[in-house]
A and B are shown apart, each in its own frame.
Chain A
Amino acid sequence: MENCRTGVYICMCGTNIAKVIDVEAVREFVSGLPDVMLVRTYKYMCSNPGQEMIVQDIRENNLNRIVVAACSPCMHERTFRSALRKAGINQYLFEMANIREQCSWVHHDQQDATEKAMALTQAAIRRVALHEPLENLSVDMSPATLVIGGGIAGMTAALELAEAGYPVYLVEKTGRLGGNLARVDLTAPYLYSAQDLINERIFRINDNNHIYLHLNSKVTELSGFVGNYTATIETIPVENGHKKEEVKVGNVIVCTGYKEFDASRITHYGYGKLPNVVTSFELETMIRSGKIETREGRIPRYIAIIHCVGSRSLEFHGYCSRVCCMTALKYAHEVKSAIPSCYVSDIYVDMHAFGKGHEDFYRRSSEAKTLFLMYNKNDRPVIRRADEKDDCQMLIEVNECLSGETIEIPADLIVLMVGMEAREDASEVAHLVNISQDKEGWFIESHPKLEPVATTTDGIFIAGTCVAPKDIPDTVAQARATAARILAKVSQGKIEVDALYSEINKEICSGCRLCNKLCPFSAIEFNEKEAYSEVISALCKACGVCVAACPSSAIKGRHFTDAQVMAQLDGLLSPVKYQIEAVTS
């Protein structure tokens, strides 16, 4: 084995690490270990001077192994690997010891914490000695993209990619494009016509010969990996036959949208029983047809709008559906302009006017004398039929929070602002493309702040209201973000994949195929001719399941070899001792 010359760097992370761990004691301890050429402590290793120090030391002292004892590798492994590359040595000859998240942040006792930091660093030093230089893989990236869902998100993303010259397969379950937005009349707060927003996109989609539109279709199968997916698109069976097509795509965008909350689940709103209690979408239909009237065909004198139907209650959904407040204000405007003599009561929990132009829109609704009445989300309004002598059809009893009074609101038409829900087939889609859902059924992004449209599966992106409730601008922004992410990759033609994957020694492999079934990424195939299993390295995520399962020990996890793991354990379990120095005054 080559002669190991290891450099060890202990980061103080400002005071994040140094306030609990005696870094100088760790330095002293480490400098006595075999193979260690050089040990340094530094305030911020991740800073430019910190990285520069590593590069300098490698060059000057011929170091060939580097250990950084600092934060989690999720945070800065990439940073330090690039320092190694810069210094001209293989980036895999590096190991991080996590003495922040796994040590200084979770311990208070200086002695224990310092001893643990010593052990973690020692483990990294023993492990890095056995590291091998590895090269990343480069695989082809198919330029085509599969877009699932033809709402505003899907259409936007498809156009963005197609107009850049790349093929797009746009798959929509129903017979028309536009999704839920196509059911809406005007949009808040600028009162643009939703129809105009959609139609313009539909024209462009129909005109664009890079977009292969599949209406009344579903994606029934997806296999492969980033850059090289194979999708099966099937038409939903109707009388005029059934078609099935297989397409090759590099990336997938999921924008399957939402469905509205079923208002009849809140029984005391009487939806479905009282004829003039309607949902927001039913009011949209009325507005689009140009007639706001009761079921009996009368022009309502009083319209009441109830917010948060299905949203913001532990009984149904705890989250805020984000668009209903502004939509309710939009109704107030539309009603007032259609029937100027009509009184609008807006019964809300909190007015969420968070977006651009929203607060102004809220103010204009006040100016138009919309009466805003606040109820407590745990104390819902109760609707009952009015008596003969009343000048209205129904009465809504509310404990109004701002006045502290129990009041009765007259209403001829009651609009329930139904919230957004994950679609019932969302889990089917999640399973199909191998992404996860949260407890409400929304798809989970790989990082809620920094990776809002990526998922934990490479090449699968999510956008719009299948991720969480959001309004049109946010949805469009996300759709365009997915397109930008994909364009950045397809324009390169190739994609680099981590060098971490399993390797099967075909001489030892008995061909039992146990690993074939266990692999969660379907990355192991059986070679029938020569009767052994082989790993598709681009698909392998280096989870190690096959390595552990192989009865013949024929599988090796690169960068996670048995020897490396055992050396790390040895280092971790070798005794360390730290004595806090008595304070001399």
Chain B
Amino acid sequence: MAIRINLGYIDELNKYGAEDVQLCYQCGDCSTVCVHSDDIFNFPRKSMRRLQMGLERKIETTLEPWLCYYCGQCSDQCPREADPGETMMSLRRWLIARYDFTGIASRFFRSSATEVIAILAVALITGLFLFIYGKAGGSISIYDGEGAFLPSSFIHFFDLAIGSVLAVFLLINAYRMWHLTMNKGVSVRISPWLYLKHIFTFPLHFFTQKRYAQCESKNRNFIFMPWITHLGLMLGYVTMLVLVMVFIEELQHGPEIIWQVHLFAYAASLGLIIGTIYFIRSRLRKTAYVQFKKSHSTDWVFVILLFLIVITGIGQHILHRTGYYEAANITYILHLMCVVPWLLRMPFSKWAHLLYRPLAMYFAAIQKDALKKQLRLSEDHMITVK
């Protein structure tokens, strides 16, 4: 059955950052140079072609864009400057929008104004709400304990509420991803046993990002190689997320320092501050690695917002410990004004790849296993037919 091509798709993907894909003439250099491209998941060449032709059904059901870590070798190698690396990135953005059932992600990716306005609105509502709440129950000059402006127990409850909303969105979208890639996207039957067999792939890739390390074989700078910075940023972020969701009361408690909790918080903060500064600097200079040469508006929102979160977080902590309680409370509100839109934005932004990418690795391992079995079967079959 012939598939209708969609000639307008390339214009649509342009909004997601695929600016040069039309230049690709399918030489395949990109797939040759990519360490992750193999017989079953052959990219970026095929992805480039599907994008050019607008084969949406094929793209939305593939895991391939998630298997790319954007080391940029393909873009360095491309004889037509078609930028396969950025094309894969734009496909990931499009997939995030495609998995998202609310349609918010697609609006954010296609219009930076919409995203900024939404973030500002959520920030203002949060700020207003917390200020009114603080005024009603406490004093702005008390940071912690009796009569505190923003008591830690309340913040804990508040965090968990936001976290639950986030989790609901993420889980629904993850289910949609599973449905598209594992249900619609595979021709072979996948036995439930395979899901169990490969279950550890998910945490493995989540915590180590070891496939990104494989991209690095040809990189020269060890300290600032993208894998380390990327992993550092991610681990810092996840540590912080756990601390905020579970240990917020210990974290906020003062004035003594609870090292069991704070040590992690300091380490995570350090990781985040170094990571965000490095990313902002690289994106501004456009020099370090290929992936920093082009920045989508959502990339800027991502790093700037995260940077603000870290700065205000550290700020309120220092102000609290040094006794400027009023300033600490105001900085804390500013901090939360960044944190809440940040968390709520997560399922609709690039940050969702925190979940989608390791999930894709897991699904890909299962698909490969299933396909290999089928291939082996058909080879045997061919032998007997002969």
Closest to B82 in A: A366
Bound CA span A363–B52, Å = 15
A403 contacts B23, C-beta separation under 8 Å: no
Residues from chain A with Cβ under 8 Å of B321 in the complex: none
A367 contacts B22, C-beta separation under 8 Å: yes
B8 lies within 8 A of chain A by Cβ: yes
Given B2, B7, B46, B80, which contacts A343 in the complex, CB threshold below 8 Å?
B7
Task: Indicate whether A371 sits within 8 Å of B23 (C-beta atoms), given known contacts A406-B1, A407-B4, A408-B3.
Answer: no
How many chain-A residues does the 8 Å CB contact rule pick out?
A: 24
14 other contacts beyond A343-B8, A367-B23, A402-B49, with CB at 8 A cut-off? A302-B7, A366-B25, A366-B80, A369-B22, A370-B22, A371-B22, A373-B53, A403-B50, A405-B3, A405-B55, A406-B3, A407-B3, A408-B4, A410-B4
From B1, B7, B58, residue with most partner A Cβ within 10 Å: B7
B23 contacts A407, C-beta separation under 8 Å: no
A408 contacts B2, C-beta separation under 8 Å: yes
A407 contacts B22, C-beta separation under 8 Å: no
Chain A, range 369-397, C-beta contacts under 8 Å to B: 369-373, 395, 397
Residues from chain B with Cβ under 8 Å of A405 in the complex: 3, 53, 55, 58
Task: Indicate whether A407 sits within 8 Å of B2 (C-beta atoms), given known contacts A343-B7, A367-B23, A400-B53.
Answer: yes
Bound CA span A402–B3, Å = 15
B22 contacts A409, C-beta separation under 8 Å: no
Residues from chain A with Cβ under 8 Å of B3 in the complex: 405-408
A369 contacts B10, C-beta separation under 8 Å: yes
Q: How far is the CB of A276 from chain B (nearest CB, A)?
A: 17
Task: Indicate whether A406 sits within 8 Å of B53 (C-beta atoms), given known contacts A302-B7, A366-B25, A367-B23.
Answer: no
Q: How far is the CB of A92 from chain B (nearest CB, A)?
A: 60
Q: How far is the CB of B45 from chain A (nearest CB, A)?
A: 9
Q: How far is the CB of B275 from chain A (nearest CB, A)?
A: 36
Bound CA span A371–B55, Å = 13
B25 contacts A372, C-beta separation under 8 Å: yes
B5 lies within 8 A of chain A by Cβ: yes
Residues from chain A with Cβ under 8 Å of B7 in the complex: 302, 343, 345, 371, 410
How many chain-B residues does the 8 Å CB contact rule pick out?
A: 22
B287 lies within 8 A of chain A by Cβ: no
Closest to A390 in B: B4
Kindly list the 4 A-B residue pairs having the minimum CB-CB distance in the complex, ordered from nearest. A343-B7, A408-B2, A402-B26, A403-B49
Residues from chain B with Cβ under 8 Å of A408 in the complex: 2-5
* Contact digits for A331-367, partner B, Cβ 8 Å, 1 yes 0 no: 0000000000001010000010000000000010011
Residues from chain A with Cβ under 8 Å of B4 in the complex: 395, 407-408, 410
Bound CA span A400–B52, Å = 13
Closest to B46 in A: A403
Chain A at the B interface: SS class: strand
Task: Indicate whether A409 sits within 8 Å of B5 (C-beta atoms), given known contacts A369-B10, A403-B46.
Answer: yes
* Contact digits for B1-26, partner A, Cβ 8 Å, 1 yes 0 no: 11111011011000000000011111
Q: Which residues of B contact A (CB under 8 A)?
A: 1-5, 7-8, 10-11, 22-26, 46, 49-50, 52-53, 55, 58, 80
A406 contacts B2, C-beta separation under 8 Å: yes
Q: How far is the CB of A389 from chain B (nearest CB, A)?
A: 12
Closest to B10 in A: A369
Chain A, range 100-145, C-beta contacts under 8 Å to B: none
Bound CA span A366–B80, Å = 10
Closest to A368 in B: B22
Q: How far is the CB of B168 from chain A (nearest CB, A)?
A: 37
Residues from chain A with Cβ under 8 Å of B8 in the complex: 343
Residues from chain A with Cβ under 8 Å of B11 in the complex: 369
Closest to A301 in B: B7
Closest to B28 in A: A402
Q: How far is the CB of A336 from chain B (nearest CB, A)?
A: 12
B2 contacts A371, C-beta separation under 8 Å: no
Residues from chain B with Cβ under 8 Å of A367 in the complex: 22-23
Residues from chain B with Cβ under 8 Å of A372 in the complex: 25
A407 contacts B80, C-beta separation under 8 Å: no
Bound CA span A368–B22, Å = 8
Residues from chain B with Cβ under 8 Å of A406 in the complex: 1-3
Residues from chain A with Cβ under 8 Å of B10 in the complex: 369, 371
Q: How far is the CB of B51 from chain A (nearest CB, A)?
A: 11
Q: How far is the CB of A62 from chain B (nearest CB, A)?
A: 68
Residues from chain A with Cβ under 8 Å of B49 in the complex: 402-403
Residues from chain A with Cβ under 8 Å of B24 in the complex: 366
Q: How far is the CB of B277 from chain A (nearest CB, A)?
A: 36
Residues from chain A with Cβ under 8 Å of B55 in the complex: 403, 405, 407
Closest to B81 in A: A363
Bound CA span A577–B81, Å = 70
Bound CA span A343–B8, Å = 8
Task: Indicate whether A397 sits within 8 Å of B26 (C-beta atoms), given known contacts A402-B49, A403-B46, A403-B53.
Answer: no
Residues from chain B with Cβ under 8 Å of A403 in the complex: 46, 49-50, 53, 55
Closest to B3 in A: A407
Bound CA span A373–B1, Å = 18
Given B1, B26, B52, which contacts A371 in the complex, CB threshold below 8 Å?
B52
Bound CA span A373–B46, Å = 14
Closest to B50 in A: A403
A371 contacts B53, C-beta separation under 8 Å: yes
Residues from chain B with Cβ under 8 Å of A402 in the complex: 26, 49
- What are 5 A-B pairs at a CB distance below 8 A? A367-B22, A370-B22, A403-B46, A405-B55, A408-B3
